[in-house]
Amino acid sequence: LAKTTQPISMDSYEGQEVNITCSHNNIATNDYITWYQQFPSQGPRFIIQGYKTKVTNEVASLFIPADRKSSTLSLPRVSLSDTAVYYCLVGDMERDDKIIFGKGTRLHILP
């Protein structure tokens, strides 16, 4: 099971790009990296998933270096509504019982 380490909290301002880094030194060959977003009193919501290099969708980008020991979630031009907790997960696509949520990063966007 690959353990992940994220900053506990981050602050940023509206309109800025926010990068949240996750460390996963023990990532295994079959593991994918997935990010979820959670608002208070709601269930987490999938943001993005990747295996290597760069993945981009309509809400975020995910950068994964060649050694895959870390990953960075990039949120372009954040707004107040991006204030949430962001979780980085590392799991084996073939055996989903290895996917565990940690404590996440509490992102606070300021006006």
Binding site for other proteins (CB under 8 A): 32, 34, 36, 38, 41-46, 49, 85, 87, 91-104
Comparing CB distances to other proteins, the nearer of 41 and 81 is 41
Comparing CB distances to other proteins, the nearer of 34 and 70 is 34
Q: What is the DSSP letter of 30?
A: T
Burial class (CB within 10 angstroms; exposed 0-12, middle 13-18, buried 19+) of 75? buried
Residue 10's DSSP bridge partners are 107
Measured CA to CA in angstroms, residue 31 lies from 5, 6, 26, 35, 101 at distances of 16, 17, 10, 13, 14
CB 69, min distance to other proteins, A: 19
CB 86, min distance to other proteins, A: 11
CB 51, min distance to other proteins, A: 11
